[in-house]
Structure 1
Amino acid sequence: MEVFFRDGDSLDYYAQLFGISLNLLRDSNSNIDFSQMKSGQPIQIPGFALEHHMLGINDQLYFLAAERNLSLDAIKLVNQDCHFAELMIGSNIYLPKRVNRAVVNRRRAYDYSALTEDIEALNALYPFIRINEIGKSVLGKSIYELRLGRGQKKVHMNASFHANEWITSSVLMELLNAFLLTMMNFQKMRHINTAELYELVDLSIVPMVNPDGVNLVINGLPEQNSRELIRMNDDNQDFSGWKANIRGVDLNNQFPANWEIEKERKIPQSPAFRDYPGEKALSEPEAIAMEKLAEDHPFSRVIAFHTQGEEFYWGYEGKEPVESFMLASEFERWSGYKSIQNVDSHAGFKDWFIQTFRKPGFTIELGRGINPLPLSQFPEIYRKVEGIFLAALYL
């Protein structure tokens, strides 16, 4: 919600007026020099929206404010052009409304367009979220990172490395929306104070690593390279089983952690709808973007969301720290998912992160069934993985 600064006001006053922390207000207006504030300058108030209201016969401004747990001055602030002495029945005013419902629309096939709509909606409502483009896909789609929080603990989460696992993107965005709602409405997630977590954690989220592949699975063939894509898909025009990026490379087999082993033993040995690790490690722009993101930021731990099995993997060749065992035990307890330390697999993002940084890395396999998992599984998946999301931030 946008308001306009008045002479005599201050950022501290607006924080008190709307019942939000000063840090959230500052982070929502990071482009402003607060020592040089002038009358009429726009200020973003996170977690609020403006609501049109026509005055009825029994309406009094004081009671309208009290119903929203706000002071009368909050209404005056958002109606600075209004002559309050002249208000009458039928007059139209704005009322500030604390948003208490999710804006992420996860009840749909979650393609790149759905993701970008939800990113825009979240950013408009919670302008303290920093939206970064960390790279572009093969077809030029932005790979977005959403970042929030002020803490020293740097936690990274990602989803949709694999195209037909797109439900992970909607789950991760729903988790983020729930985190924001509870933080702004003085509520808790599973007894965890999310407002405190904002001060303790620096959260990085890449909700869709493979946007071209996701679009292919959900929307079918793009205009370009359709014949080649059909060939890579075993001459099948049903792309629901497609895991790779648009060039037929499995992005979670792209990282320099014994990549040569995967290259030698993987079938197929050329671009395909799944499992091909590429001609070399980090050949694909999506994998390069993720590698650079982790290199540029000293993440404390990373969590990659995939699908199939209701289990998670957290070891790599004995290079995982002792902290990983503790986290794995808590993830298992909070979610009911099975903890598996080691699997016969290399070249994944989690593998490379553990090998390179000697910090905790996890691959979380959501749900059970045939990919893409149906949206009917969403509530059960969300219920279980919420524990992992919170434990990763809290512990």
Structure 2
Amino acid sequence: MISYQVKKGDTLAKVAYNNKVRITDLLFFNRDILSEMDYISPGTYLQIPEPGPVSHIMEKSACFYEYGFRELEKDREVLAESFVSEQIGTSRLGKPIWLFKAGQGKKKLFFSGTWHGNEWLNTWLLMEFLKVLQKKLNNKEKWYGIDIDGLLDQTTIYIVPLVNPDGAELVQEGLNGQHQYYNEIYKINQGFNVFHHWSANALGVDLNHQWPAGWKEEAASSPNCPFPRHYGGEAPLTEPEARAVYELTMKEEFSCVLAFHSQGEEIYWGYREMEPSISSKLAERLAGASSFKAVRTADSKAGYKDWFIKEFKRPGFTIETGVGQNPLPLESSVRIWITTIPLILESLTFPDFS
């Protein structure tokens, strides 16, 4: 048994993984101070048991602990030899919002993830996609029979894997007294210190309800003040995270966009019949690759995909990668990987609509 002092950014899953023990064992040996719902505070001392079997750690293509801005920074260094990364903006708390680019072709595809703080598994998914893509390119290997190297001669992939770093951090690590918006967030969350339900940014604005496409209608049926979810702000595009994606999209004029969320294994492809007629066929191709269900529209407006369709009249898709209550459990990562990677690769074969 060893004693471990918790560092900023630690979670139960990260401590368990790094010490090659199970979360259940960590909870058992620290049962006097921890429960499964607890966040662990920096400075706390935990008792770490002797390492157990590590077979669960060696499983392929699975996420074993929370993935946020700290993990992204480490992986950005790993990916630097193959892909360009560029900061396109900052969050409310000043965290960088990173863009990754792969390929050099004329056709531009845009993938984005973790618009909602409790959907951070999609950041892991997109970063893992880039890491495997790097290996495939280095080894000149096909992926699901697709010549990736050849495709990227005609295509440039743009990826913003973590649109909402502040919200993801709050979900994963909780709220401490040093937080810049401690009082505001504490009030929004009605005094509770559990944030698994939180999808907004650091000021209680839902970044996927920030877009000038039916914003007034959506606002009329949503919270009218900062809230953990669905509050669209005082006006469209008030939040720096949304502005960063807006400015990138206006600059690059993407051929097609895929915004990744994690609720329902569905593919939303329409917006008020403004989408091109081919969108339904493309959605069926994505559905066939992933086993997801293609659905024309969700019962909401003011989303990024809605605005993109309205603004450019090009195909846009909201991809819901998971099933269950957010944040999805870590074991969902295997299913998300297996079902979503073929969908992503299928989208690379779409025509150029620019």
TM-score after normalising by structure 2: 0.79
1:393 aligned residue (341, 344, 348): 348
The aligned residue for residue 368 of structure 1 is 323
Say whether 1:200 aligns with 2:157.
Answer: no
Q: Which amino acid aligns with 1:115?
A: L
Q: Is the 8 A contact 2:111 2:260 kept in 1?
A: yes
| SS at structure 1 position matched to 2:338 | helix
1:146 to 67, 90, 100: 100
Within 1, Cα distance between the matches of 2:274 and 2:327? 32
Matched residues in 2 for 1:374 and 1:187: separation? 32
The answer to whether 1:300 aligns with 2:252 is: no
Q: Distance in 1 between matches of 2:132 and 2:273?
A: 35
Listed as ranges, the matches of 1:225-240 within 5 Å are 225-240=181-196
The answer to whether the Cα contact below 8 Å between 2:62 and 2:331 also exists between their aligned partners in 1 is no
Look up the equivalent residue of 2:252 and give its one-letter code: H
Match of 2:291 among 326, 336, 345: 336
- Is the 1:183–1:193 Cα contact (8 Å) retained in structure 2? no
Corresponding residue for residue 118 of structure 1: 75
Correspondence for 1:45: none
Amino acid in the other structure paired with 2:78: A
CA shift, 1:262, in A, is 1.1
Residue identity opposite 2:303 in structure 1: G
Partner of 2:64: 107
Which SS does the other structure have where 2:77 is aligned?
helix
Gaps spanning 5+ residues in structure 1: where? Answer: 1-103
Q: Which runs of 5+ in 2 are unaligned?
A: 1-60
Give the conservation status (yes or no) of the 8 Å contact 2:262–2:321: yes
**Is the Cα–Cα contact under 8 Å of residues 149 and 203 in structure 1 kept in the other structure?**
yes
The aligned amino acid for 1:239 is: F
**1:176-231 deviation per Cα after TM superposition (whole angstroms, max 9, x unaligned):** 22222112112221111111122121100001000011111111115222232121
Kindly indicate whether residue 218 of structure 2 is the aligned counterpart of residue 282 of structure 1: no
3-state DSSP class of the match of 2:140?
coil
AA of the residue aligned to 2:298:
V
Tell me how far apart the structure 1 counterparts of residues 183 and 97 of structure 2 sit (CA, whole Å): 26
- In percent, how many aligned pairs have the same letter? 41
Measured against aligned partners, the alpha-carbon deviations of 1:225-276 in whole angstroms (never above 9, x if no partner) come to 223212111321101110000000000000100101111111x210011110
Quote how far apart the aligned CAs of 1:279 are: 0.5
User: What is the number of residues matched between the two proteins?
Assistant: 291
Stretch deviating more after TM superposition (222-231 or 338-347): 222-231
Q: Give 1:183's aligned residue.
A: 137
Cα RMSD of the aligned pairs, angstroms, is 1.8
2:184–2:203 contact (8 Å) kept in structure 1: no
Alignment check: 8 A CA contact 1:136 1:286 kept: yes
Deviations for 1:115-149, whole angstroms, at most 9, x for unmatched residues?
111111111xxx34111111110011110000121
Equivalent residue, structure 2, for 1:291: 246
Q: Deviation digits for residues 310-363 of structure 1, max 9, x if unmatched? A: 111010000111231221010011000000012221110000000000011000
Given that residues 230 and 236 in structure 1 are in contact (C-alpha distance below 8 angstroms), is that contact kept between their aligned partners in structure 2? yes
Amino acid at match of 2:193: Q
- 1:49-94 alpha-carbon deviations (Å, 9 max, x no partner): xxxxxxxxxxxxxxxxxxxxxxxxxxxxxxxxxxxxxxxxxxxxxx
User: Corresponding residue for 1:272?
Assistant: 227
User: What CA distance in whole angstroms lies between the structure 2 residues aligned with 1:322 and 1:128?
Assistant: 36
Q: Distance in 1 between matches of 2:143 and 2:63?
A: 19
How far off its partner does 1:105 sit?
8.8
Aligned AA (2:108): K
Question: Are the equivalent residues in 2 in contact too, given 1:251–1:286 (CA < 8 A)?
Answer: yes
1:23-172 equivalences under 5 Å are 106-123=63-80, 127-172=81-126
Give, in angstroms, the shift of residue 172 of structure 1.
Answer: 1.0
Report SS of the residue matched to 1:339. Answer: strand
Higher relative contact order (CA 8 A, sep 6+): 2
In structure 2, give the amino acid aligned to 1:320. E
Deviation at 1:379, TM superposition (A): 1.0
Q: Which amino acid counterpart does residue 143 of structure 1 have in structure 2?
A: I
Which of residues 175, 189, 193 in structure 2 aligns to 1:221?
175
Who wins on radius of gyration, i.e. which is larger?
Answer: 1
Identify the residue that residue 62 of structure 1 maps to in structure 2: none
Report 1:13-24 matches (<5 A).
Answer: none
Where does residue 260 of structure 1 map in the other structure?
216
Match of 1:173 among 98, 122, 127: 127
Give the Å deviation of 1:375. Answer: 1.2
* Deviation beyond 4 Å, 4+ runs, structure 1: none
Amino acid at match of 1:317: R
C-alpha separation in 2, matches of 1:251 and 1:211:
11
